[in-house]
Structure 1
């Protein structure tokens, strides 16, 4: 594949939920900033009240951030090493995007367990695209994206196998 058909990692969204605001959330934000190379995170807000989890609508409950470019690829390589470069095929959606989880932040290089902080897990969502997708998103002269520019599940799987040496388990 060359030119406009070439796949690339557009962005990676990293999400960490702590279930409550306050000091615990501030520690999670600092931890995420350290792991993701200084990127600043945005707080996530509960959309509805869930008494079983002690959540109220409008309460801060986690944080997320978006990585793009070289930082995104570097973070993805590190994250894939943590899960031993194995991803289940069911993790890929029909648009070629995929996600996986990391159970403990202490698995990242340079991180150690601190009883003051605790252990946090995180969700990592990867968006894979082809060049030229901007025509469907721009405000001026917006056009429909041609079907050949859509990323398919099998294309994304082969991209991950080739560029990141990932083993996709069926």
Structure 2
């Protein structure tokens, strides 16, 4: 294995995979669920000064993820929100590979402990295919963000796409990776350095 491999990726291969094989009796290593990608989506469409807000959102999301976001456009016009079809209203980033595991490491070890009144992540946010979506209300939980230069709070949706076939498999995978779920008795296998 490479020495520059992210800690979460190394821990997944060396610790989490054997644990999941013994837990769910997989016959083949390729049956073990894994994280495929992370999508981070931010919308500033309801802001009055949308162009300035969008540029700030792109800058902050690039700082948090380490990757340049893509601007997203409105799919249809909504007159009540003063929205026109094709208008730029948000940005998104898709993380894969080493960058994805580095982001997960920072998210679980540095950002989640900084959430105010944090009691754990809800397990009801899984869909039927084993993907997990979390809503982040304030982007200042990430240590990369300089709080003194923030003009407005930025919220975004974070979706973790896995190869898990059921909700239980996805919960087992993410809780073994260190995600603190509400009511789960599983101890995380990946511990902070």
Q: 1:152 aligns with which of 166, 170, 184?
A: 166
Cα shift at 1:7: 1.6
Q: Given that residues 137 and 155 in structure 2 are in contact (C-alpha distance below 8 angstroms), is that contact kept between their aligned partners in structure 1?
A: yes
Q: Which residue of 1 aligns with 2:187?
A: none
Aligned to 1:139: none
Greater alpha carbon shift after TM alignment, 65-74 vs 84-93: 84-93
1: CA distance between counterparts of 2:40 and 2:119? 18
* Number of aligned positions between the proteins: 149
Deviation at 1:97, TM superposition (A): 0.3
Which residue pairs with 2:94 in the alignment? 66
Task: Report the equivalent of 1:13.
Answer: 39
Shift of the 165–103 alpha-carbon distance from structure 1 to 2, 3 Å rule, reads closer
Alignment of 1:28-43 (within 5 A): 28-37=57-66, 39-43=67-71
Give the Cα–Cα distance (whole angstroms) in 1 for the partners of residues 43 and 82 of structure 2.
13
Shift of 1:70: 2.3
Unpaired runs of 5+ in structure 1? 130-149
Give distance in 2, aligned partners of 1:31 and 1:54.
25
- Superposition deviation, residue 53 in structure 1: 2.1
Query: After alignment, is 43-52 or 19-28 more displaced?
Result: 19-28
SS at match of 1:151: coil
- When normalised by structure 2's length, the TM-score is 0.69
Contact 2:63/2:145 (8 A) holds in 1 = no
Q: 1:115 to 1:128 in 2, by over 3 A?
A: same
Q: Whose helix proportion is higher, 1 or 2?
A: 2
How far apart are 1:159 and its partner, in Å? 0.9
Q: What displacement does 1:77 show?
A: 3.3
- Post-superposition offset of 1:101: 1.2
CA distance in 1, matches of 2:51, 2:158: 23
Task: Identify, as 1 or 2, the structure richer in strand.
Answer: 1
Distance 1:70 1:87 in 2: 24
Pairwise CA RMSD:
2.2
Q: Deviations over 1:73-117 (max 9, x none)?
A: 221233344255822121001110010011111111031335663
Q: 1-side partners of 2:146 and 2:81: how far apart?
A: 28
Structure 2: gaps (5+ residues): 1-20, 22-27, 185-193
Do structure 1's residue 118 and structure 2's residue 118 form an aligned pair?
no
